[in-house]
Amino acid sequence: MKAPSDENSILARFAAGPESLAQALAGLRDADLDARPARGGWTIRQIVHHVTDGDDLWKSCIKMALGNEQGEFALAIKTPDGHLEQLPVGAVIEMQADHLEHHVERILAIRRELEDTAREVE
């Protein structure tokens, strides 16, 4: 995996992530967090837990890379031969930005579904 070509853009997306998540969650009631999407899948609460768990996991890797001149760390890839791949910290940050953006979109889709259901009940 290679480092992203536009590091400033990736860092900006990564830094905007928490606010993007906060905006996606703003105004939700506790019951909304546990509503099951019509087509199945995780609830909003489960998505938030998943995102924060992933951030906790990758935060350690980012911290390790910050102490390394090359900004890389060894990532164990689960292959039969136990191959190790050098992964630039920029690639991890980009991966995390992509991950959060994906889940924020999922939360927004669930919110739209909740709003549609509420309009049907009225």
Given the structure tokens 């910050």, which residue do they identify?
A: 66
Can you tell me the distance from the alpha carbon of 112 to that of 11, in angstroms, rounded to the nearest whole number? 29
Residue 5 phi, psi (nearest 5):
-75, -30
Q: How many residues does the chain have?
A: 122
| pLDDT given for residue 71 in this prediction | 63
E-assigned strand segments in 32-92: 72-76, 84-88
For the question of whether the overall pTM of this predicted structure is more than 0.95, the answer is no
Contacts of 77 (CB under 8 A, 6+ apart): 83, 84, 85
pLDDT tens per residue, range 51-79: 999 988 888 877 877 777 666 665 655 66
